[in-house]
Structure formats: structure tokens, C-alpha cells
Amino acid sequence: MNWRIPILVTFCATTALAHSGVKNPAVLARMNGMSAIAQNVKVLGTMAKGQIAFDAATAQEAAAAIARHSEASVTLFAPQETDPHSEARAMIWDNFDDFTDKAQALKVIGDELAGSIRTLEDVQGAIDPLGDACTACHTLYRAKH
């Protein structure tokens, strides 16, 4: 079993806690968008682990949602908004082209998966590319609280 699945599922389970106390509506919208990505990654991760039954349509929709929210994240992050509870590092706006490229890379993966998932093995094979794309962005642009 892929070592990334437990990490991705744990990440998804803890994202909701980060939202408490956020006052800035733009930051909250960003966080909600990121949580939507995390929840859909969780669907794929739990399916890959066999914790929920494989369903191609559900997996395809989760992948499509990842793509939609990844694309929307560029617009959500365009204004440089802050909040004490935000996990976004200021370097996002210093390197916005790179941030945009990373969001686009996740969108492409989501779109490709939405059109190609047919089997449980397809879902299991999706975890590494998804994890790599998430890690590429979070390593640089997400602060740890």
C-alpha cells in the first residue's frame, strides 16, 4: 500500500480545524477551496486504501472537483489577503507565477484522472501524482501552524 495515503487522509482530516477563528472572508474562501481539494483527495485516498468501496463515477467526480478547485485557487489567492489563522505564506505573492504553475499542474492531473479512472488500480495509481503536486505547493507556500 502506498505510504502517501495515510498522510493525505490525515491532512484532510485536520484541515477543518485550521478554519476556526478566521475573520477575513477572502482568506476563509481560500481555505474553503483548499479544503474542497483535500476532501476530494480524501475520497480517492480512502477508496485506494479500501476503506470505501471503489466507484468509478465517484472517483472521477472527485478528480474533476480537484481540477475545478485547483483552477479556482489562482483567483482566490490573487488578492494578497491575510489573517492570523491563514496558512498561506507571503511568498505566494512574491512568486505568484510559480504558485499559478503549481495550481495548474494539479488541475491538469485532476482533469486527466477524471477522464481516465476506470478501476481501483487507476485510483491507487493516482495517489503519487496527487501527492507530488500537493507537496510541491505546500512545501513552499503553506505555513505550518
- Indicate which CATH number applies to the domain containing 91: 1.20.120.10
In a domain, 53, yes or no: yes
Helical H segments across the chain, by residue range? 4-14, 25-48, 56-77, 91-94, 96-116, 120-141
In a domain, 110, yes or no: yes
In a domain, 82, yes or no: no
User: What are the backbone dihedrals phi and psi of residue 32, each rounded to the nearest 5 degrees, phi first?
Assistant: -65, -40
Q: How far is CA 87 from the centre of its chain?
A: 14
Q: Residue 1: is its pLDDT beyond 90? A: no
Residue type at position 113: L
Closest among 107, 108, 113 to 44, alpha carbons compared: 113
In a domain, 42, yes or no: yes
The 10s digit of each residue's pLDDT in 48-76 is 999 999 999 999 999 999 999 999 999 99
- Judge contact between 89 and 42, C-beta under 8 A: no
| Surface-to-core class of residue 3, CB atoms within 10 Å of its CB (0-12 exposed, 13-18 middle, 19+ buried) | exposed
Domain hosting 99: range is 4-76+87-141
In a domain, 113, yes or no: yes
In a domain, 16, yes or no: yes
In a domain, 81, yes or no: no
In a domain, 97, yes or no: yes
Distance CA 102, CA 142 (A): 13
DSSP 8-state symbol, 88 = B
Q: What does the pLDDT average to over 72-86?
A: 96
- Judge contact between 57 and 2, C-beta under 8 A: no
Number of domains in the chain: 1
Q: What pLDDT band is residue 21 in, cutting at 50, 70 and 90?
A: confident
